[in-house]
Amino acid sequence: MAAKILALFNLKEGVSVSDYENWSKTVDIPTVNGLGSIEKFEVFKTTGLLFSEDKPPYQYFETIDILDMDQFGEDAGSESMQKVAAEFQEMTSDLVFITTEKL
């Protein structure tokens, strides 16, 4: 069964944007996109709110297009993904995962 997950998050205080973005481009994105259960994984940096001068509530978001949720559960439990997940959690805060269903 296919699914899309959105992850919204900020960086922890003391984590530099350049360190996170370098890690994301060189570790996170290639690792997650290499999983058999993933159709596409992308990371986006927020740049503003449309028609507002306010700051976005989240600095980044990810879209995770999953081909098979059962397989994704297995993939997420792998040693390599557990390492990536731990590194991700060390750098991020206010993390929210949103599961979705296409209309």
Instruction: Give the count of beta carbons closer than 10 Å to the beta carbon of residue 12.
Output: 13
DSSP percent split of the chain into helix, strand, coil, nearest 5: 35, 35, 30
CATH code for the domain in which residue 92 is found: 3.30.70.100
Range of the structural domain that residue 70 is part of: 3-100
Instruction: Report whether 89 contacts 2 (CB < 8 A).
Output: no
What does the pLDDT look like over 41-71, one tens digit per residue? 999 999 999 999 999 999 999 999 999 999 9
Residue 26: the pLDDT is 98
Distance CA 54, CA 87 (A): 30
**Number of domains, the chain:** 1
Helix (H) / strand (E) element for 82: namely helix 79-91
* The model's pTM: 0.92
- Calculate what percentage of the chain has a pLDDT beyond 90: 95
Average pLDDT for the chain: 96
